[in-house]
Amino acid sequence: MAYNKKYADWSKKKWFEIIAPSRIFNEIIIGETPAYEEDQVIGRTVDINLAFVTGNFKYQNMKVIFQIYKVVGLKAYADIKEVALYDAYVRRIVRLGTSRIDDSFVVKTKDGIEIRLKPLVITRFKAHRKQKSDIRKKLKEFLVKKAEELEFYDFIEKVINYEIQNEIKPVLNKIFPVGHVEVRRIARETPLVVKEEIKAKM
């Protein structure tokens, strides 16, 4: 049989278990990743359905992206890089005769982590420009205040459980009837792994 360097090299790779954070996810194993050396694993990401990670079907419309920041032996520890709604879900809730109100801004949580928020509101009927502007402004003020009051994981937890969305919805309804209040995306802006550090380990 002919020597195949590609497959011979592959056999030398080690498999590292990817461990989710203890907060919310109880350090469950969320996958495996192959590499020759531990340093090559740092910075890698894994994209998983939130229902799969939590074991709760009600989270099926959300995904979470984890990034590996530390390796101990054959265990690769990951933290949350992003939580987002699936585009297919967003398309389902946007219907004819409604208005879609989007926004995007960066806030800092109580523990000093910068995150980009992309909230989304779907009104029950077509809204005028002034009504959409007022809703966008009120929602941004509320989310900025909440982020400043809560630590990163507390904020994430309250968003995925819809506590924050349900709290602001009655307030927005006073401006104009609202059907859905969503946080379409939460992306960590404060890096888990410094880019120069990743390059040095490649």
| Residue-wise pLDDT tens digits, 21-60 | 999 999 999 999 999 998 999 999 999 999 999 999 999 9
Measured CA to CA, the distance from residue 16 to residue 74 in angstroms comes to 5
Average pLDDT over residues 151-163: 98
Query: Cβ(66)–Cβ(20) under 8 Å?
Result: yes
Tens-digit pLDDT profile for residues 66-92: 999 999 999 999 999 999 999 999 999
Q: What tokens appear for 80 in the block?
A: 């949350």
pLDDT of residue 12: 78
Name the residue with higher pLDDT: 1 or 161.
Answer: 161
192 and 69 Cβ atoms separated by less than 8 Å = yes
* Domain definitions of the chain by residue range: 5-85, 87-188
- Evaluated on CA atoms 183, 185, 190, 192, the torsion sign reads positive
* pLDDT tens digits for range 107-147: 999 999 999 999 999 999 999 999 999 999 999 999 999 99
Q: Tell me the whole-structure pTM to 2 decimals.
A: 0.88
45: left (phi over 0), alpha (psi -120 to 50) or beta: beta
More confident position, 194 or 26: 26
With a CB cutoff of 8 Å and minimum separation 6, the contacts of 90 are: 120, 182, 184
User: What confidence score (pLDDT) does residue 194 get?
Assistant: 62
- 82 within 8 A of 186, measured Cβ to Cβ: yes
Class level of CATH domain 87-188: alpha beta
| Helix H or strand E segment including 88 | helix 87-93
